[in-house]
Chains A and B, each alone.
Chain A
Amino acid sequence: MVETPFGDDDTASARGVVRVTTLVLVVVGLVVGVALAPQAWSFATQPDGNIAVVEIQGSITGETASGVVENLREARQNDSIEAVVLDVDSPGGTAAASEQLYLAVKRTAAEMPVVTSVTGTAASGSYYAAIPSEQIYVTPASVVGSVGVRATVPTSGSVEGEVVTGPDKNGGATEAEVYERVETLRRAFVGAVFAERGDRIDLTREEVSHAKVYSGAAGVENGLADEVGGVDTAVAAAADEAGLDDYRVTRMDAPQPSLLSQIGLSAEEAPDQPSTEQVFDYRGVDTVQYLMLHGTIRTTETETEVTANANA
């Protein structure tokens, strides 16, 4: 009779250990699998990319423009954002801030599709910001245009007893120089419009310089806008430009000017409808303001002289 190295009991014991070990591993595998399942599900179902809807709404000031520029920078730096839709409803604002927006949108458009949806008004400075977009969507009631600049020149003289170091310290420029600067800004504005959309605009530079605002439908006809459509249409167009079949929309709200900046230095006298100089930070010192703003200037003094290159 030949004896095996292990007895039957030993063999059975080894098989038991293997089964238990296998069972333990299966359980561990299940636990690990269940633990990772949400991530796996998320990975399997995640969109191809995100579309950021960046709001440009309200008056454009240095403060609000900085917020929009920051939103656009974030859109460029966030790998998950594949396209940007500008939600524009603004009458414009200061010339310098509007130019900042134009440059920021232009830079963003160089890196990813940018489509604009005019949800109300894209006039003057806000239209300036929108022109680098690949497409500008409007509705029949929305308005576009007002390509022009104006300067508000304070009429008050020097303060009694004031000592200044130069003849232009008070006003900053002579009247002729204000005209020159307004004309220079107009040339830059109109030039930018034609540089970005010259192949689509069916107007002359002189006609654009009239600073007329057009309804959305008229804007599509003359090339200041591209198509009629709402925000969702603009988002779909941006997704299509970015090659996204499955995408998520992320809205970046428009920064609002702080209350203090709207009312200058006095928070106690906050008016219901702040005047134009209060919105644009005159802050108690009258200076020549260069504005790319559509509409009638609302002043606290009727004597404020407005030098308009066109009826911006």
Chain B
Amino acid sequence: MRTRDVARGIGVVAVVAIVVLAATVAGGLLVSSPTNVGEAPTPDAYDTGSLDASPIASDGDVTAPDGESKTVVVDVSHGNDVSEDAIQPFVDALVESGHEVRFYGGSSSTGIGAPTQSGSPFNETLRSADALVVVSPAATYDDDEAAGVEAFADAGGRVLLAADPPTTTTSDQPISIPGLDTGGSVSAAGQPANLAGQFDVTFGNGYLYDMADNANNFQHVYASGDGGIADGVEDAILGGAVPLRTGPDASVVLSVGDAALSTTRETGSYAVAARTGNVIAVGDTDVLTSGMATTGDNDVLASNLAAFLVSGDKEPGEPSNGGTGGQPPTGSGAMIGSAASTGSAGMVTAAD
């Protein structure tokens, strides 16, 4: 009897507890609201087939015409922002076609570009050359050298002047001047302004860009032209090109249409390459470099530039002014190339 009463009591307690818990759960389910309702909205901007940028074709080859072996001098003696490695496709094409490419690094005895009593070693180098390539010099060509280049071109030597917008590299190492904490600044790449000026061409400032029609970047603009170095070039892709201004003796051979200039933001057609006799000025150096030499129609443009350089007919011994009598440069580190570190004359030639 007593056991029965205890069991009954426990049963009542259990039933009451179950009822209370059930009521609590049911109430909770009724009262509570879902905490994470709704699906995430689909962003319309992410759901389009035009989102992915299309790769730019890069499948051409830079070539140069065969024929009489010509000597192409690439000047690196004026702090030029160029190296054999940087313009490898261009150099390879010339060498493969039997031409000789020299990288002129200046004379160790006279310093960079400085004339001597016996004449400018730069001009001495030109006497034995058929073509000269000047890319983004940091130092100015002095009057003697500029006159040498002009005489070189007048004698039939081919000259390629190429430059990007002038740049400066800012160092983050502060200069410790009491009361003045500023970063150091050094010019990294410039333009052959005085050389180009002799041939009625000036390099501009700022870069060209196109926000609407570009090769995956607003600074990668399309350039085209008719005939000459633009023969077969429909869509050359220039990266951060600088516009050129031309005088009456120069003719525009390559231009960018409907681009804007970064400094003025004015939209229009801009010349990016111009020719004056045996001289061509190009407002872009990327077309010669490994990264972009084969992008779009750049291989055609670079091939045409190579052909231009080796198709001249230069009189031997020019320029005669400012030199030592037409002797070709010898030894003592006047030339650099693949053996630059040794200081001896080095050159890249066809291995035949």
Contact = CB atoms under 8 A, between A and B. Distances in A.
Interface of A: 76-77, 79, 102-103, 106-107, 110-111, 175-177, 179-184, 187-188, 191-195, 206-207, 209-210, 298-300, 302, 307, 309-310
Interface stretch (B42-50, B133-141, B156-164): B42-50
Contacts, number: 81
Given A76-B36, A179-B216, 8 more contacts: A77-B35, A176-B55, A177-B55, A180-B52, A180-B53, A191-B51, A192-B45, A194-B45
A77 B212 CA distance: 43
B216 A299 contact: no
9 contacts: A77-B35, A79-B33, A110-B38, A175-B291, A180-B53, A181-B53, A187-B51, A209-B211, A309-B218
B243 to A, nearest CB: 19
A184 B51 contact: yes
Interface in B152-178: 169-172
A106 B216 contact: no
B220 A310 contact: no
A106 B211 contact: no
Interface in B7-63: 33, 35-38, 40-41, 43-46, 48, 50-56, 58
Nearest to B33: A79
A195 B211 contact: no
A25 to B, nearest CB: 26
B224 interface: no
A312 B342 CA distance: 45
A302 B170 contact: yes
B217 interface: yes
Contact of B48 (A182, A191, A309): A191
B191 interface: no
B171 A302 contact: yes
Given A176-B295, A300-B172, A106 B220 contact: no
Contacts of A111: 37-38
A10 to B, nearest CB: 37
Contact of A102 (B37, B43, B48, B170): B43
A158 to B, nearest CB: 16
B51 A302 contact: no
Contacts of A195: 43-45
